[in-house]
A and B are shown apart, each in its own frame.
Chain A
Amino acid sequence: QKEVEQNSGPLSVPEGAIASLNCTYSDRGSQSFFWYRQYSGKSPELIMFIYSNGDKEDGRFTAQLNKASQYVSLLIRDSQPSDSATYLCAVGTGANSKLTFGKGITLSVRP
């Protein structure tokens, strides 16, 4: 069974710090990797996606993928209180790119 694991959290960081969110997956055939942000009472919002090994940067966000270690992470630089949310890791596998989601980790950025 395909699994996506995220640290249970919650994770608390001070404003301005780097928040590091980690995710591991079990299926070596996985091809696509996504990070969603979900505010309380809202739906998931796609913030980053990565398909190749290495780093991908978009503003304050950096996604890192290491397929050999089956590990994907999200770094949030200069964390802001508005970054406080639950972050969901999702992994796509197969021709239909069925997404398997982790349980999510709640990030709290302290002013």
Chain B
Amino acid sequence: ETGVTQTPRHLVMGMTNKKSLKCEQHLGHNAMYWYKQSAKKPLELMFVYSLEERVENNSVPSRFSPECPNSSHLFLHLHTLQPEDSALYLCASSLGLAVYEQYFGPGTRLTVT
């Protein structure tokens, strides 16, 4: 789905590093999401933004900090992560918050060493 792009595609970071994941959607959508996908677990919703306003924070540790400067861009700032945070981080967007379909970006494969 080229409508939602994510960078970087792969990231290896140490536990003391600070890094950021970027997501951009070209679909004219108003809602954006961060998900975490770990092996053998269902997709976990982390954050939801609607028109740049955070509407959901799904009990995510503070070492993950989202930022949504406008309706097309979404960031996930990472600091002092743990090895168990290694996962595929997926960004998605939808037209709105109601019963709309969500479209995913390609994801960032994160490894914390």
Contact = CB atoms under 8 A, between A and B. Distances in A.
A51 B99 contact: yes
Given A31-B99, A43-B90, A44-B104, A99 B45 contact: yes
A102 B42 contact: yes
A110 interface: no
Given A43-B106, A44-B90, A98-B56, A103 B42 contact: yes
- Chain A residues touching B, majority SS: strand
A59 B101 CA distance: 19
A100 B107 CA distance: 18
Nearest to B99: A32
Nearest to B1: A45
A37 B81 CA distance: 30
A88 B105 CA distance: 16
Contacts, number: 56
Interface string B95-113: 0011111111111000000
Q: Which of B43, B56, B103, B106 has most A Cβ within 10 Å? A: B43
Interface string A19-40: 0000000000001101010000
Given A34-B101, A44-B43, A96-B48, 8 more contacts: A43-B88, A45-B1, A46-B102, A97-B94, A97-B100, A98-B45, A99-B102, A103-B40
Interface of B: 1, 40-43, 45, 48, 50, 55-56, 88, 90, 94, 97-107
